[in-house]
Chain A
Amino acid sequence: MNTYPKDLIRDLIDGRLPWPTTKQVMSDFKDAGRFETYIEILQERVSWQERILLPLGEHLYIVQKGKARIVKCDCGHEFGPYTENWKLSASIFVRDTDEKLEEIYPGARKCDPDWMEIREYCCPGCQTQLETEAVVPGYPIVFDFVPDLEAFYRDWLKKPLPSN
């Protein structure tokens, strides 16, 4: 079974690993211990103390806060329980006119704002753009992912999950 040194994984997820090694890691059998190393690295990087249970995105994590499991940005902003869509607690900017779309998509590249809009969800804390959504106007906000944490930790990782 493959294992990689922590530094290699760190460089890999930062996109800093030289291509030949990156290619090897991609092509080789996957390392079963990846998740643990990954979480260690991420945990070291955040300034706050709560334990990371699962990363959701470049800046978002599901963390254990007391008895609650909430979504938290690495800037420290908290979005509430992971079982609710964090987007509902984000701030939003919508590109729904030709002008707003042209800023990103000049000419033939853009969509027709009557048919589709781009929603930009940002972190109210650090103003990082966390997700975008290209949907038909009036479309319900998409709830991207609710993990089955119990099954993942207890059945797959065979690890206890902090109680809540």
Chain B
Amino acid sequence: MKATTAKKIRRIAPGRDGIGPGGSTLLEALKRNRQLFEQTGHYHGVKSLKLKSDNYLRYESLHARLRSSVVNAREMAKKISASPGVREVGESVVALYTPEGDSIALSTGIMVHVHTLSRFIQWMIEHDYETDPGIAPGDVFANNDPFISDVHPPDLMNVAPIFHDGELIAWVGTVAHELEIGGVMGGANQSTTAERFGQGLTVSAEKVAVNDVIRRDFLVRAQMNLRTPIYYILDEKAMVAACIEVREKVLEIVAEHGVDYYKQAIRSIIEEGRRAHLERMRLITVPGKYRSAAFSGHVFEGKVGASGLSTNCIVHIPLEMTIDRDAVLTIDYEGAGSKMWNPYNCPPSAMDGGFFVTLTQFVDFDGKVNDGCWYATKMILPPGSWANPMDEATCTSSAWGSLMPGFGCLQRMISRSFFARGFREEVFLGQVNTPIMEGGGISQYGGRFGAQNLECAAEGSGARGIMDGIDCGYVGWNPESDMGNVEVWEMAIPILYLGRRIWRDSPGAGKYRAGATFSSLLLIHKTPVYNLVSTIHSDKTFDNQGMCGGYPGPTARFQYVSRASNIRELIANRQPLPHVEGDPKSPDLQRLVKGDFETVDGVFLERPLRDGDLVQFFYNTGGGYGDPIERDPAAVQVDLDKGIQSLDIARRVYGVVANYNSASKLHGVDEDATRQAREQCRRDRAARAIPVKEWLAGQRERLLKQDFVREVKEMYNDVFGISPRWGREFRDFWNLPDDFTFKS
């Protein structure tokens, strides 16, 4: 997109060329800022933190107040919002930026956006918004265009300039995750579309408020283009209110400290953030080269409602992490597959998002994180790959589908360095995919609706290095995770929960298991049509890894559906109803209910549901840590008593022999039998395992025979094409001819 060539509209105070620092234009300021870093290696050329050493109190209190201004504004915004996303599960963030768009301070919330708002601001600067449409006090700009800057379209962002004597001295930005943005299906993370054009209402860096008043035409557009405009409009109001709130507070602070001091201080705060990050890396990690890989497989072919453009595919998500001598962290996605005709592509800003949400949880969690940390890290995103499509028409509506496995790799690699350094309490195999139940149709109130059910925001987490993962309380994209109340979700969506319970045997197994996740069994209620979709399911593939001998978390691959069911009849006759999965071999929904039952492989249901239909939705959880047969039998017993594990899995996976006492309703572990079972397990391993070198020889034959399904071969061929380096490594590893490819 080119900068507009419209003739200059002077909106700036006389006696200055631009609204930027010292009368410069913002573009000049931005260039200078980048130059200063390249030349000096310090943010904005700030070599010494003398502001801090000269007057410690003044400096720290300024920093503290800037931070509390954004934290408080977020709390206010949450109260205004109508969206269960923002209000019930806190899907928002507020942050303060320099004139060049570097973040100074952030609230808690979706830390994903430390740098996405930066890119948005910088995009406007680079495209000379200063001239047209002009940037004036009281303006607010909105964006959810991922190729300007965003993680994906549901994240609606607002930024507002903060002026002092005609000079722009800061930006305030805020983001809210919308539950409905008017795409081809109801909801927000459109998974059935293959290009940006089906993603829903896209706002591309537009001026949406003037003099603190939201433009009528912007609200009208939302009103006309969304199924449930109330969420969007009240969130927009909440965000503008938050921007105004922060602006007022910042101007108070500036008045108190003097604008010159403020200007120096914000530079210093960011440089400090940069140095703090490097020092922390040096304190808690080990330098070296780390590798990990994840895969996300998707099924579209032959599915009613899928875009004809979307093919089955396996997303290749290789990650190499280097921590160098100077503690600079570099992550390199070399080998990532090409951009795709599906919603799982990530614009660079989305990759920033994934990077930051990981760093802030693992390294920079002292609450003083800012873009300094971005200046202390590097990310390499191969052009043309899903991680950097270089094509604005690419669909990114479910970018998280690739981000989460991708940055799950980063969590695992950083954890490995924590382990080596001795900080085992920081080892955390956090994130995996979060399937979001979304869709639209006719609501229980009779009107049209579209919404996401964000209860997925409290899945199980991967295991920790000294204890089990978090049960039903974690998602990678928002550390302040929550599933909200059923009584609230049922207000927003025409469903009646028959159950929301822990999914038995879901945790990735290990000496320390992953957190248990849950599944929801829903009766579609008081609607003639509800088009239900899932946003992400890594159909057919695990999207995460275990560590130190633990197993990956489950795929949550199937959803269960039962249409035209006899549920009403069952109810009338007081017969048992399904609430949980039950026996995986014959699920309760199939066993107890007559109806046409299907197990849906992955992302979406092909036909709309209606009143009386049933659906069971499964959520993911992460990988385990350590060899499962080294798990404390007492811990297994507790899991049995809580219903998190079954006797069957306890025996097979953990080698724990236990029994159930129906009188006490508790389980008992047979110590001796358990010891024997575990010894036997080691003997079995010895018996069935073969030396790796031997196995490799066999695998090489398989490669030469090309004995793989189409999707696998296509993944490899695609990667060979986009990354000769990766192809070379592959062929070297298997000792294959240099021209080896797969025939399709």
Contacts and interface: CB of A to CB of B under 8 A. Distances in A.
Physical contact A–B (CB less than 8 Å): yes
Interface of A: 9, 12-15, 17, 22, 25-26, 30, 32, 34-35, 37-39, 54-58, 87-94, 103-112, 114-116, 118, 120-122, 124, 126-148, 151-152, 155-156
Nearest to A17: B466
B15 interface: no
B509 interface: yes
A144 B415 CA distance: 12
Interface in B530-570: 539-542, 544-552, 554-558
Nearest to B681: A127
A87 B284 CA distance: 26
A143 B292 CA distance: 8
B210 interface: no
Contacts of B56: none
Contacts of A14: 466
A108 B555 contact: yes
Contacts of A25: 425
9 contacts: A88-B692, A107-B558, A107-B581, A108-B557, A109-B554, A115-B295, A129-B629, A132-B545, A134-B541
Contacts of A128: 549, 627, 630, 682
- Most chain A CB within 10 A, of B555, B715, B729, is at B555
Contacts of B289: 145-146, 148
Contacts of A103: 652-653
B716 interface: yes
Interface string B700-735: 001100001101100110000000000001100110
A109 B506 CA distance: 7
Contacts of A104: 509, 551, 652-653
B293 A138 contact: no
A116 B541 contact: yes
A142 B650 CA distance: 29
Contacts of A87: 692
B61 interface: no
B686 A92 contact: no
Contact of B287 (A57, A90, A144, A156): A156
Interface string B447-477: 0000000000000000000110000000000
Contacts of B316: 136
A93 B690 CA distance: 7
Contacts of B626: 58
Contacts of A132: 545-546, 549-552
Nearest to A91: B689
A136 B540 contact: no
B599 A147 contact: no
Given A13-B466, A92-B692, A115 B627 contact: no
B511 interface: yes
B574 interface: no
B691 interface: yes
B57 to A, nearest CB: 21
A138 B288 contact: no
Nearest to B730: A140
B351 interface: no
B555 A110 contact: yes
A120 to B, nearest CB: 7
Contact of A138 (B286, B325, B716): B716
- Most chain B CB within 10 A, of A9, A109, A114, is at A109
A107 B695 contact: no
- Most chain B CB within 10 A, of A37, A124, A128, is at A128
Nearest to A103: B652
A110 B733 CA distance: 28
B557 A13 contact: no
A115 B316 CA distance: 12
A152 B287 contact: yes
B88 to A, nearest CB: 27
Given A22-B425, A103-B652, A116-B542, A127 B685 contact: yes
A144 B292 contact: yes
B416 interface: yes
A14 B540 CA distance: 35
Contact of B422 (A35, A106, A130, A136): A35
B356 interface: no
B551 A92 contact: no
Contact of A92 (B295, B544, B689, B729): B689
B618 interface: yes
Given A103-B652, A148-B325, A156-B287, A118 B551 contact: yes
Q: Is the interface of A mostly helix, strand, loop or mixed?
A: mixed
Contacts of A92: 689-692, 695
B587 to A, nearest CB: 7
A11 to B, nearest CB: 10
Nearest to B312: A115
Nearest to A116: B541
A41 to B, nearest CB: 9
B575 interface: no
Contacts of B630: 58, 128
Contacts of A38: 421-422
A67 to B, nearest CB: 21
A136 B552 contact: no
Contact of B416 (A93, A110, A145): A145
B691 A129 contact: no
A148 B287 contact: yes
Contacts of A55: 419-420, 422
B423 interface: yes
Interface in B164-193: none
A62 to B, nearest CB: 9
Contacts of A124: 691
A56 B323 CA distance: 16
B287 A114 contact: no
B229 interface: no
Contacts of B649: 106
A13 B703 CA distance: 42
A70 to B, nearest CB: 16
B288 A57 contact: no
A128 B283 CA distance: 31
Contacts of B216: none
B420 A108 contact: no
Contact of B467 (A15, A30, A109, A146): A15
B11 interface: no
B154 interface: no
Given A110-B555, A134-B552, 15 more contacts: A15-B467, A90-B692, A91-B685, A108-B581, A111-B541, A112-B297, A115-B540, A116-B542, A120-B685, A127-B689, A134-B295, A135-B293, A142-B291, A147-B420, A152-B288
A58 B653 CA distance: 18
B314 interface: yes
B539 to A, nearest CB: 8
A43 B723 CA distance: 43
B241 to A, nearest CB: 33
Given A94-B695, A108-B556, A34 B733 contact: no
B413 to A, nearest CB: 8
Contacts of B693: 88-89
Contacts of A56: 420
Contact of A115 (B585, B711, B716): B711
Nearest to A16: B466
A151 B322 CA distance: 13
Contacts of A15: 466-467, 512
Contacts of B280: 30
B621 to A, nearest CB: 10
Contacts of A12: 424-425, 466
B685 A93 contact: yes
Nearest to B554: A109
Nearest to B582: A107
Given A138-B702, A138-B708, A111 B542 contact: yes
Contacts of A143: 291
B505 interface: yes
B362 interface: no
B641 interface: no
